[in-house]
Amino acid sequence: MSAMKERPTFPARLNTSGSKEEAKRPEAQRARTVHQLQTAAPGQLKSQGLGMDSRAVRMSMVGKLAAQGITDAQVLAAMGHIERHRFVDTALVNQAYEDTSLPIGLGQTISKPGVVARMLELLRQGAPAKLGRLLEIGTGCGYQAAVLSQLATEVYSIERLRGLHDKACENLRHLRQPNLHLLLGDGRLGFAKGAPYAGIIAAAGGEDIPEAWLEQLAVGGRLVAPVATGTGKTRQQQLMVVDKTAQGLRQTLLEAVLFVPLKSGVA
Ligand code: SAH
C-alpha cells in the first residue's frame, strides 16, 4: 500500500488518570461528588468550578452512558480515562462531555460518546481481557482511537484526510500510547501488514463492507461498521456486526445510525 505512511509509535509511558488531589480525597467523599455530578447538567458543572480537565466531569459522562444501558466495565473505564475535551476545538470544549457529535474540521465529526460506547461494547462482546490487534477506519480527531488503545494490545487507525491525520497525531501526543499506530491511507483497503485483526471498527459508512476488511478479520474476530441499507425513502445507515467463524461469516444488522460517508482514496 504505497500511499500509506506509518507514523513512529510514541515512547512507552502510560498516562495514569486522576489528579493527585483526587487520589488524596477520601473514597466516600469522592463517591458523593461523582453521584452529584452524574445528575448535574454541564452548565452546573461549570458553576461548581470544575474544569474540563477534572476526572469528575468525565465520570458524569460515564454515569450517563451507564444509564443509557452500557454495561461493559472496560468500555466505561476507558471512556472515563480519555479526556474528550482534548480532541475538540477550543470553542467547543464546553460541549465535550455532552452526548453529541461535534465538528472536527474538513466536514467531519467526532462521534457521540453514546455511539462510541455502543460500538466498542459490541466490538468487545464481553471479552474478559484486552482484545488483541484492532483496526479502526476513520481516525478523525483521534478520540475513538485513544479509547481503543485502552482496550486492545495494538491499534492501527487509518485516516484518508491528511489534515485530520496530522491533527490526530497532535491530539494523541499527550497520551504517549506505544500501542497506537496512526496511518494515512484509504481505509477501504484495510491494513494488510497488521492482519489478522481481532476486531475492525469503522467510523464512516459505505454502500457495503469492503472485501479487504473481511479478509483481514481473524477467525473469531468481529467487525462493527455502519452500512447503507434500504432504497428510496427507506434508505438509511444501520450498524452492522460481522462475526468471522470457522464456518464462515455471520452478519447482524442493528439500529439506524448516522455516520459520515466512507470515501475512497487519500486527500
Ligand atoms: N473516530 C473518529 C470519527 C471521525 S469521522 C473520531 O473519534 O473523531 C470519520 C472519519 O472517517 C473522517 O475523518 C473521514 O475522513 C474518515 N474516512 C472516510 N472514509 C475513509 C477511508 N476510506 N479511509 C480512512 N478514513 C476515512
Residue 112 and residue 88 in one domain: no
Residues 6 or more apart whose CB falls under 8 angstroms from that of 30 comprise 22
Provide the pLDDT for residue 49.
47
Residue 183 and residue 221 in one domain: yes
pLDDT tens digit sequence for 147-198 = 999 999 999 999 999 999 999 999 999 999 999 999 999 999 999 999 999 9
Per the domain annotation, does 39 fall within a domain?
A: yes
% of the chain residues with pLDDT over 90? 78
| Pairing state between β 131-137 and 5-6 | unpaired
Per the domain annotation, does 120 fall within a domain?
A: yes
Residue 44 and residue 170 in one domain: no
- Measuring CA to CA, how many Å separate 141 from each of 14, 78, 98, 144? 20, 17, 17, 8
Ligand 1 — pocket residues by CB below 6 A? 104, 108-111, 137-138, 140-141, 143-144, 158-161, 164, 186-188, 203-204, 260, 262-264
Residue 115 and residue 80 in one domain: no
Per the domain annotation, does 11 fall within a domain?
A: no
Per the domain annotation, does 192 fall within a domain?
A: yes
Select from 46, 65, 92 the last residue of a domain: 92
pLDDT tens digit sequence for 72-107 = 999 999 999 999 999 999 999 999 999 999 999 999
Among residues 62, 68, 67, the alpha carbon closest in space to that of 84 is found at 62
Which residues constitute the domain of residue 41?
Answer: 17-92
Per the domain annotation, does 203 fall within a domain?
A: yes
Residue 108 and residue 88 in one domain: no
* Strand, coil or helix: 40: coil
Phi, psi of 228, deg, nearest 5: -75, 135
Per the domain annotation, does 267 fall within a domain?
A: no
Considering the candidates 111, 149, 157, 264, report the single residue annotated as catalytic.
111
pLDDT-based confidence at 55, cuts 50/70/90?
confident
**Interval 205-216 mean pLDDT:** 98
Select from 35, 60, 92 the last residue of a domain: 92
Per the domain annotation, does 48 fall within a domain?
A: yes
- Measured CA to CA, the distance from residue 129 to residue 137 in angstroms comes to 23
% of the chain residues with pLDDT over 70? 81
Is 17 among the catalytic positions? Answer: no
Q: If 0-12 CB within 10 Å is exposed, 13-18 middle and 19+ buried, where does residue 119 land?
A: buried
Question: Which residues does residue 181 pair with via DSSP β-bridges, in sequence order?
Answer: 156
Residue 73 and residue 200 in one domain: no
Residue 76 and residue 123 in one domain: no
C-alpha 169 – ligand 1 centre gap (Å): 14
Residues 6 or more apart whose CB falls under 8 angstroms from that of 91 comprise none
Residue 181 and residue 71 in one domain: no
| Pairing state between β 217-229 and 102-105 | unpaired
Supply the CATH number for residue 118's domain.
3.40.50.150
C-alpha 202 – ligand 1 centre gap (Å): 8
Provide the pLDDT for residue 38.
44
Residue 110 and residue 81 in one domain: no
C-alpha 263 – ligand 1 centre gap (Å): 9
Among residues 243, 192, 185, the alpha carbon closest in space to that of 215 is found at 192
C-alpha cell at 190: 484495510
Residue 86 and residue 108 in one domain: no
Type of residue at 246:
A
| Pairing state between β 152-159 and 217-229 | unpaired
Per the domain annotation, does 196 fall within a domain?
A: yes
Residue 87 and residue 109 in one domain: no
pLDDT tens digit sequence for 3-21 = 455 544 443 333 333 444 4
Residue 128 and residue 234 in one domain: yes
Provide the pLDDT for residue 50.
56
| Domains identified in the chain, total number | 2
Type of residue at 253:
L
Average pLDDT over the chain reads 87
* Alpha carbon of residue 181 to chain centroid: 14
Distance, first Cα to last Cα, the chain: 15
pLDDT tens digit sequence for 123-145 = 999 888 999 999 999 999 999 99
Residue the block writes with cell 448516522: 258
